[in-house]
């Protein structure tokens, strides 16, 4: 699996993601569960809240996904009422710094960032252009998905 495959897996669910956002409820928790279901449907093993290795064992990884011997460390950030617009990128940057501390050997370390507002999507697109070697951005059904590779 590569970052584009991961983006396709996520955005294949764009209509349900949009419906969850429209409820105005805490959709980040919903998305974490939905994300695990999507990964399982793509035949990946998944674990949530995996402790980072020492000396960072106080931190927890959102998702550790596996396919055969390949494992993927994934942190997830979604736009919400508390990090709308430009704040989404600031929170995403924190997860980029965080996942760099996940030192277990994995195939890839990714930070997934999902946006729905025009401002947040524009910000993620700009960040992707600035970090083209590390980030990809795709949009489907009004949902923007950036994946940053560390």
pTM over 0.85: yes
Q: How do the domains of the chain map onto residue ranges?
A: 3-149
Q: How far is Cα 146 from Cα 135, in angstroms, rounded to an integer?
A: 7
Multiple choice CATH, 3-149, 1.20.5, 3.90.79, 2.60.120, 3.40.1350: 3.40.1350
What is the SS3 string spanning the chain?
A: CCHHHHHHHHHCCHHHHHHHHHCCCCHHHHHHHHHHHHHHHCCCEEEEEEECCCCCCCCEEEEEEEECCEEEEEEEEECCCCCCCCHHHHHHHHHHHHHCCCCCCCCEEEEEEEECCHHHHHHHHHHHHHCCCCEEEEEECCEEEEEEEC
Per-residue pLDDT tens digits of the chain, which is 150 residues long: 999 999 999 999 999 998 888 887 788 888 989 999 999 999 999 999 999 999 999 999 999 999 989 999 999 999 987 777 889 999 999 999 999 999 999 999 999 999 999 999 999 999 999 998 999 999 999 999 999 999
């Amino acid at each position: 699996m590569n970052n584009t495959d991961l983006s396709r897996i996520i955005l294949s669910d764009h209509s349900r993601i949009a419906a969850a956002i429209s409820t105005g409820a805490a959709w980040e928790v919903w998305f974490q569960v939905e994300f695990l279901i999507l990964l399982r449907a793509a035949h990946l093993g998944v674990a949530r809240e995996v402790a980072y290795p020492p000396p960072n064992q106080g931190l927890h990884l959102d998702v550790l996904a596996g396919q055969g011997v390949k494992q993927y460390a994934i942190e997830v950030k979604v736009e919400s009422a508390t990090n709308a617009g430009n704040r989404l990128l600031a929170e995403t940057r924190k997860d980029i710094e965080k996942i760099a501390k996940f030192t277990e050997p994995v195939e890839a370390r990714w930070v997934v960032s999902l946006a729905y507002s025009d401002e947040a999507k524009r910000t993620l697109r700009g960040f992707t252009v600035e970090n083209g070697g590390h980030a990809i951005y795709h949009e489907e059904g009004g949902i923007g998905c950036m994946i940053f590779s560390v």
